[in-house]
Amino acid sequence: MEHYIDKLKHSGLKLTPRRQAIIALFIERKSHLTPEKVWEYLKKKFSRCGLPGVYRNLESLVECGILTRIQQFDSKKHYSLCSIGYGHDHHHFICRKCNKVEEVDFCNFKVISRFIEDNLHAKVEAHQFQIQGLCSKCK
Partner DNA sequence: TACTAAATAGAAAATATTTCTATTTAAGAG
Partner DNA sequence: CTCTTAAATAGAAATATTTTCTATTTAGTA
Contact status, residue 92 vs residue 101, Cβ threshold 8 Å? yes
- Strand 78-81 to 91-95 pairing: unpaired
Task: Please state the closest distance from residue 12 (CB atom) to Mn ion, in A.
Answer: 21
**What CA–CA distance (Å, rounded) separates 96 from 113?**
28
Binding of DNA by 16 (CB under 7 A)? yes
What burial class does residue 31 get, using C-beta atoms within 10 Å of its C-beta: 0-12 exposed, 13-18 middle, 19+ buried? Answer: middle
Binding of DNA by 9 (CB under 7 A)? yes
Residues 106-135 that bind DNA (CB under 7 A): none
Task: Please state the closest distance from residue 128 (CB atom) to a second copy, in A.
Answer: 5
**What CA–CA distance (Å, rounded) separates 30 from 32?**
7
**Can you tell me which of 71, 81, 84, 98 binds a second copy, judged by CB under 8 A?**
71
Contact letters (x/-) for a second copy, 74-103, by CB under 8 A? -x-x-------------x-x-xx-----x-
Residues that bind Zn ion (CB under 5 A): 95, 97-98, 100, 135, 138
